Every structure is written in structure tokens, then in C-alpha cells.
């Protein structure tokens, strides 16, 4: 049962528990929400394969059902008046969706909206704004309202903000009744690919996937001196492959890993920073990338599988750097080695079959199967794998088998409907802003302004674009951050001549880094709440640990082969290794420690290696990588001389007594 479904606690007010109204709220309403969510999930699941409606009609149903769920779920612990308003909004949302779907062809045929269309459009916009506020907070609806005001009153503004102004009927047509804006390409992704992959993730979670990831992470992490921190990184990386939210990543894995790190000897701020960076990095890891993979594919017109391939090497650099940094920190703090945890084999024995769905997904995407249909068949495969395992574990007890399968499908489909429609709702809301930025010409003018300010100097342009991305990405979820910065900042890079995919990955990374950057680093806020550490110190530490998130976008511009742009396997892999070594050099220099304390001449060598690996030449990159390997060998010899590696693990953390 999710938090949204749990009835309000009645420990302090027992008289409320006996009231008939409370019984309705905690029983009938929740049962209705669960049944409705199941119907919504099954409908989306089947529609992905059989497509019962025209796409725009399906988007109307997708949006309407999402609004109904959001308004009903938001009544928890609210007043009677608030609940009545919410029920009315849910009923109105259902009516608007049904009317739009039933009258789709007539509405589409009208060039300008009539009075009925205008009322319908205004209601739809207001419902979307309120639904987004309830499910995602006030920031995005406030920005969208400002965009609508800008569309109406831009003729009163100076400079690059000026445009001719738009009448209300034209605004509503652009953002709703012409089936753009709210019903534009973002909603197409939300109603099809995004929903199906979120459903796949929820089914994986319901099958025990999170517990599987945590056990594997503990088993691998325990082999290192920085064990709990490594567990946080690995678990968050695995979670990020199925999650669309940084905050959800932090809460899910951080509630376990942050106390473990603090107990080991890390500071509260460092523990929170590790979890922040790991959970943020989960949004960089394909195949989901916080839903951004589908949006980048849509923006660049590249196949989804190509976007996943492009994202892989940079994501590996990010996570390997993070693992490397926390291991150096553990060595520097002389943290003891913990006992090895043998949970990995048991985890694979219990749930290793779950990983078999991955080859199905990869194969379907590799043969250019549409992502929504690929996700459909992958869900079918996952359900089949779970059923096969339960048939074995139930040992012929068919009653137990059907009960366990019913619980698995119930949890997976219900949570999939709630999470999938919520993400679809924010995409619809952001579709309003995207459409307004396009029709008013603001996005194009913003790009030209950045190019003009840079004076044709590429590093200066990159700085302006990066700053714009971080500023507009603050407080935004992954999808919102990418969509805003891709409209405002990516065109400036493309106009300058940067490859389209490199430009979109550049702005995506910097928009996402706003989640770790003070003063509004959402991930750091949640992590510091769990660790009880200082928020600002946590955010600053997270910014340092998230170095590749800030450095890799520049690498995309000067060495786009790391994204497989005009590159084969050898050149792409060389760029990957060069980026990894360059980031490792910076980590060692910042800590002034590698396997042992860094000597002055070694720091100078690291600066040379850094310069060699940044240079795009193949020979310089190879020379830099070779030099780093040689320095590692030298450091290891120093490490063996300074520490007794034959001592018990708990005693190996202290230098030899001379």
C-alpha cells in the first residue's frame, strides 16, 4: 500500500475512526481509487499494443484519468470542504476528457475555437494547472501561468521580451484546442512511451526488484573500504534505471544507505552528498533517464535506442568517478574494512530471473520496435518470469500462486497508473510553456541573445548556456528541467554549429545539475533531511562530488565521440577512458590523496595527465591514460610500504608504526 492509499492515522482522535464519513474516506474511496487505477493501467497497457483510439483522443483520456487520480488522491487528511471541491474537480476532469475524446474530429476541424471550445480549453488549462500543483508543487504551474501572461501581454514588454501580444482565443487554440500545447508531442510521449516504461518499472518494483538491487549493492559494496557509500551509489544507479524522480531515489535508497554511511565514519554532510549525487546520477543512466530519454529522442528525431547508446558512456563516467571519489575519501579517513556481505548470491538465487527481461527489451529496441510496443512485450515477459518463479516456489499450491500473482499485478498496475499519469500531467503542463515560447518567438530570441553576448567565442557561449540551464532547472523535476532548458538554451548551441544531439545532452546535464547545486538543490534538501546534516554543506559537498555532471557537457562539445557522434567503437571508447581519467585526476587533486598522500611532483604529473586527456588527439589521450596507470603503480608501491596489508582487515586502515 502506498503512502497515498494509507488511511489517516486515528491514534490521537479515536472518535473520528467511528464516524461513518471516515469509513467512507478510508474504505470506499480508497477501494474506488484502486479499482479505477487498475482500469486505467490495463487500458494504457492494452492501448499501447492495439491502439483503440486516435492518438489525440488517447491523450485526452490519458490526461483526464490522470487528473481524476490526482484530485482523488489529494484528499488525504483534508477538510470536508476541500474534499468536496476535489470530488467536483475529479468529476469535471472526467467530463472534459470524455467530451474532448467524443468530439475530437469536430474540434480539430475548426481553425479557431467557438464559444464551447473556448470554455472547454479554459477549463482544461485550469484543471491541468491545479492538478500539476497538487502533484508536483507550485513552481511549475507558477512558471506556466507567467508564460500565459507573457503570451497575452508581451506587447507591453521591452527588448527581447516584446512580441505583438495574443488574444485569449488564440492562446487557448495554441495551447489546447488545436491539439498542441497540452495535447502536443510531450503528451504523446507521456501517454505512450513514458507511461509504459513507468508501468514496467512499477511491475519490476512489485516483483521485488528494489530488494534485489539493494542486496546486490550491499554484496558488491561490502568488498570496498567505502562499503556503505558504494552501496548507495550502486543501489541508486540501479533505482535510477526505473525511477523518474531524484527525490524518490533519495528517499527510497537514502533512508537505508545514509545511516549506514554515518555509522561507518562519514560525516552527515558527506553521506547526504553521496546519496544526492548517486540519486541524481540515476537520471543519467539509460534506459529511462528520468523519462528524459524519450523527450531527447523526440526533440532530436533520433531513435530511442540511439539516445540510450549515446547516454551510456557519460553515465558510466559519472558513476565510476563517484565510486572512485568515495573510495579515496575512505582511504584518506583511514576507515576500516567491513565484513564482506554474502547477499549477492542469495539475491540472484531469489530474484536473478528478473534480469531476463532486459535482453527482451534490448532486442526489441535493437530491431526498431516502437518503444511503447517494446515496453508492452517486456511487461508481458516480466509477468511471465514472475509467474514462472511463483509456480516453482508455490510447489503446486495453485491457490497460493493465484493469490501472490494477484497481489503482484495489483501493486504493479495500480502504482504504474498513479505514477505514469502523474508524469503525463507534468508533461502536459509543460507543453503549454513550450508552445508559448515557440509561438511568441521568445526561445529563438533568447538563443540569439546568448550568441550575441558571447561575441562568437564558444567557451563564453557555453558558460552562458550552462548558467541559463542551472538557473531555469532549479526546483524542477528531471522532465521539467530538460524541457525548459532544451527550448531556451539548446537552439543557441545548434545555431552556433554544435551537433543537435550534443547540444541537447549538454543542456540536459546542466539542467539536471541544478538538483545538487545550491541554493535550491532538491536532492540535497531531501538527503540533508534524512541525514540531519547542514543543507548548505551537503549541497556544496554534492556539487564537488558531481564534478562529471559539470565537466562532461563540455566534453560533449569538444569530444562528441563520447556520445558516439561520427565515431566508431575505438574512438568512442578512447573518449570514454579519457573523460574518466581526467575526472579521476581532478578527484585526486581535490583530495590531495590517492592511495596515499599525494606528493608535489605527483600533483604536477596529474596536471599534465589532465591536459593530455582533455586534448582531443588520440595519441595525447593514450599517453595520458598510460601515465595515469604508471602513477597508480607508483602510488600502490607507496601504499604497500606504508600499510600492513597482511594484517586483519580492520587493522589495515592504519599506517605502519615506524
Q: What three-state secondary structure class fits 110?
A: coil
Residue 408 has a pLDDT of 93
Q: Who wins on pLDDT, 223 or 616? A: 616
Write the DSSP string, 274-311.
HHHHHHHHTTTSTTTGGGHHHHHHHHHT--HHHHHHHH
Q: Please, which residues have CB within 8 angstroms of residue 530's CB and are 6 or more apart in sequence?
A: 250, 251, 254, 255, 258, 272, 275
Q: What is the mean pLDDT of residues 380-394?
A: 90
Q: What angle do CA 375, 350, 212 make, to 5 degrees?
A: 60
Q: What is the mean pLDDT of residues 260-285?
A: 85
Residue 476 has a pLDDT of 76
Instruction: Yes or no: say if 594 and 635 are a contact pair by the CB < 8 Å rule.
Output: yes
Q: What is the mean pLDDT of residues 172-197?
A: 89
Highest mean pLDDT among 314-318, 478-482, 613-617: 314-318
Instruction: Yes or no: say if 540 and 270 are a contact pair by the CB < 8 Å rule.
Output: no
Instruction: Yes or no: say if 290 and 243 are a contact pair by the CB < 8 Å rule.
Output: yes
Task: Dump strand ranges (E) for 345-389.
Answer: none
Centroid of chain to Cα 642: 43
Q: What is the mean pLDDT of residues 257-267?
A: 82
Residue 414 has a pLDDT of 94
Q: Please, which residues have CB within 8 angstroms of residue 12's CB and are 6 or more apart in sequence?
A: none
Tens of pLDDT, residue by residue over 89-131, are 999 999 999 999 999 999 988 877 888 999 999 999 999 999 9
Residue 533 has a pLDDT of 87
Q: What is the mean pLDDT of residues 371-387?
A: 92
Q: Please, which residues have CB within 8 angstroms of residue 253's CB and are 6 or more apart in sequence?
A: 214, 232, 235, 236, 239, 275, 278, 279
- pLDDT confidence tier of residue 653, bands split at 50, 70 and 90: low
How many residues appear in the chain?
A: 658
Q: What angle do CA 278, 279, 283 make, to 5 degrees?
A: 110
Tens of pLDDT, residue by residue over 15-45, are 333 333 433 445 788 889 999 999 999 999 9
Highest mean pLDDT among 10-19, 231-240, 254-263, 450-459: 450-459
Residue 18 has a pLDDT of 37
Q: Who wins on pLDDT, 604 or 229? A: 604
* Window from 137-151, 159-173, 285-299 with minimum mean pLDDT: 285-299
Instruction: Yes or no: say if 458 and 498 are a contact pair by the CB < 8 Å rule.
Output: no
Cβ burial, residue 35 (10 Å; 0-12/13-18/19+): exposed
Does the pLDDT of residue 162 top 50, yes or no? yes
Write the DSSP string, 395-457.
TT-HHHHHHHHHHHHHHHHHHHHHHHHHHHHHHHHHHHHHHHHHHTTHHHHHHHHHHHHHTT-
| Distance separating alpha carbons of residues 15 and 11, to the nearest angstrom | 10
Residue 244 has a pLDDT of 60
Residue 517 has a pLDDT of 82
Closest CA to 173 of 111, 216, 233: 111
Q: What single-letter DSSP state applies at residue 179?
A: S
* Window from 90-94, 467-471, 644-648 with minimum mean pLDDT: 644-648
Average pLDDT along the chain: 84
Q: Please, which residues have CB within 8 angstroms of residue 353's CB and are 6 or more apart in sequence?
A: 385, 388, 389
Q: What is the C-alpha radius of gyration for the chain, rounded to an integer number of angstroms?
A: 26
Cα–Cα distance list, 493 to 19, 163, 336, 564 (Å): 62, 23, 48, 18
Overall pTM surpassing 0.85 (yes/no) = no
Write the DSSP string, 331-352.
HHTTPPP-PPP-HHHHHHHHHG
Q: What is the mean pLDDT of residues 350-373?
A: 84
Grid coordinates representing 324?
572512485
Ramachandran angles phi, psi of 334, nearest 5°? 55, 40
Does the pLDDT of residue 519 top 80, yes or no? no
Does the pLDDT of residue 1 top 90, yes or no? no
Long-range residue pairs from 492-499, CB within 8 A, at least 24 positions apart, any chain: 492/446, 492/447, 492/448, 492/450, 492/451, 492/461, 492/464, 492/465, 493/461, 493/462, 493/465, 493/557, 495/447, 495/448, 495/451, 496/451, 496/458, 496/461, 498/557, 499/560, 499/565
Beta bridge partners of 593: 597
Centroid of chain to Cα 560: 23
Amino acid at each position: 500500500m502506498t503512502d497515498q492509499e494509507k488511511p489517516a492515522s486515528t491514534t490521537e482522535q479515536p472518535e473520528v475512526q467511528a464516524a461513518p464519513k471516515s469509513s467512507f474516506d478510508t474504505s470506499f474511496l480508497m477501494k474506488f481509487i484502486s479499482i479505477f487505477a487498475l482500469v486505467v493501467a490495463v487500458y494504457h497497457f492494452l492501448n499501447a499494443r492495439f491502439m483503440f483510439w486516435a492518438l489525440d483522443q488517447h491523450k485526452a483520456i490519458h490526461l483526464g484519468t490522470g487528473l481524476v487520480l490526482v484530485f482523488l488522491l489529494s484528499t488525504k487528511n483534508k477538510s470536508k470542504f476541500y474534499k468536496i471541491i476535489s470530488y467536483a474537480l475529479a468529476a469535471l476532469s472526467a467530463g472534459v476528457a470524455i467530451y474532448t475524446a467524443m468530439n475530437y474530429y469536430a474540434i480539430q476541424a475548426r481553425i479557431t475555437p467557438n464559444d464551447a471550445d473556448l470554455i472547454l480549453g479554459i477549463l482544461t488549462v485550469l484543471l491541468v494547472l491545479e492538478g500539476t500543483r497538487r502533484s508536483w508543487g507550485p513552481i511549475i504551474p507558477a512558471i506556466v501561468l507567467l508564460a500565459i501572461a507573457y503570451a497575452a501581454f508581451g506587447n507591453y514588454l521591452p527588448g527581447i521580451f516584446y512580441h505583438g501580444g495574443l488574444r485569449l482565443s488564440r492562446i487557448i487554440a495554441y495551447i489546447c484546442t488545436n491539439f498542441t500545447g497540452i495535447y502536443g508531442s510531450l503528451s504523446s510521449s507521456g501517454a505512450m512511451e513514458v507511461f509504459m516504461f513507468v508501468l514496467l518499472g512499477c511491475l519490476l518494483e512489485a516483483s521485488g526488484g528494489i530488494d534485489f538491487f539493494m542486496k546486490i549493492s550491499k554484496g558488491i559494496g561490502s568488498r570496498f573500504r567505502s562499503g556503505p557509500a558504494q552501496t548507495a551509489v550502486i543501489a541508486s544507479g540501479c533505482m535510477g534505471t526505473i525511477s523518474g524522480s531524484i527525490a524518490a531515489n533519495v528517499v527510497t535508497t537514502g533512508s537505508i544507505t545514509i545511516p549506514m554511511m554515518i555509522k561507518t565514519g562519514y560525516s552527515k554532510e558527506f553521506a547526504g552528498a553521496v546519496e544526492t549525487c548517486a540519486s541524481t546520477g540515476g537520471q543519467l543512466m539509460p534506459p529511462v533517464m528520468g523519462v528524459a530519454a524519450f523527450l531527447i529522442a523526440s526533440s532530436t528525431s533520433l531513435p530511442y535506442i540511439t539516445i540510450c547508446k549515446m547516454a551510456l558512456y557519460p553515465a558510466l563516467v559519472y558513476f565510476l568517478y563517484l565510486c572512485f571519489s568515495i573510495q579515496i575519501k575512505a582511504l584518506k579517513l583511514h576507515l576500516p574494512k567491513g565484513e564482506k556481505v554474502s547477499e549477492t548470491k542469495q539475491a540472484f538465487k531469489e530474484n536473478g530471473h528478473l534480469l531476463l527481461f532486459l535482453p527482451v527489451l534490448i532486442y526489441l529496441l535493437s530491431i526498431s520496435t516502437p518503444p511503447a510496443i517494446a515496453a508492452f512485450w517486456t511487461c508481458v515477459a516480466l509477468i511471465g518470469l514472475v509467474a514462472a518463479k511463483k509456480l516453482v516456489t508455490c510447489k503446486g499450491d495453485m491457490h497460493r500462486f493465484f493469490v501472490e500473482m494477484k497481489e503482484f499485478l495489483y501493486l504493479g498496475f495500480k502504482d504504474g497508473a498513479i505514477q505514469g499519469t502523474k508524469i503525463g500531467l507534468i508533461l502536459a503542463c509543460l507543453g503549454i510553456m513550450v508552445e508559448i515560447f515557440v509561438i511568441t518567438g521568445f526561445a529563438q530570441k533568447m538563443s540569439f541573445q546568448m550568441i550575441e553576448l558571447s561575441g562568437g567565442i564558444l567557451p563564453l557561449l557555453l558558460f552562458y548556456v550552462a548558467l541559463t540551464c542551472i538557473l531555469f532547472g532549479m526546483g524542477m523535476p528531471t522532465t521539467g528541467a530538460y524541457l525548459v532548458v532544451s527550448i531556451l538554451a539548446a537552439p543557441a548551441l545548434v545555431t552556433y554549429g554544435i551537433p543537435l544531439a550534443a547540444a541537447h545532452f549538454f543542456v540536459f546535464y546542466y539542467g539536471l545539475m541544478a538538483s545538487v547545486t545550491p541554493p535550491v538543490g532538491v536532492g540535497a534538501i531531501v538527503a540533508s533531511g534524512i541525514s540531519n546534516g547542514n543543507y548548505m554543506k551537503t549541497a556544496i559537498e554534492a556539487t564537488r562530488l558531481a564534478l562529471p555532471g559539470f565537466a562532461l557537457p563540455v566534453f560533449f562539445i569538444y569530444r562528441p565521440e563520447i556520445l558516439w557522434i561520427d565515431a566508431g567503437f575505438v574512438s568512442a571508447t578512447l573518449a570514454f577512458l579519457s573523460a574518466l581519467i581526467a575526472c579521476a585526476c581532478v578527484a585526486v587533486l581535490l583530495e590531495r590523496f590517492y592511495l596515499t598522500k599525494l606528493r608535489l611532483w605527483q600533483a604536477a604529473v596529474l596536471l599534465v595527465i589532465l591536459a593530455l586527456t582533455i586534448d582531443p588527439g588520440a595519441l595525447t589521450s593514450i599517453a595520458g591514460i598510460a601515465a595515469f596507470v604508471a602513477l597508480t603503480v607508483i602510488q600502490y608501491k607507496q601504499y604497500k610500504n606504508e600499510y600492513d596489508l597482511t594484517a586483519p582487515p580492520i587493522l589495515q586502515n592504519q599506517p605502519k608504526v615506524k
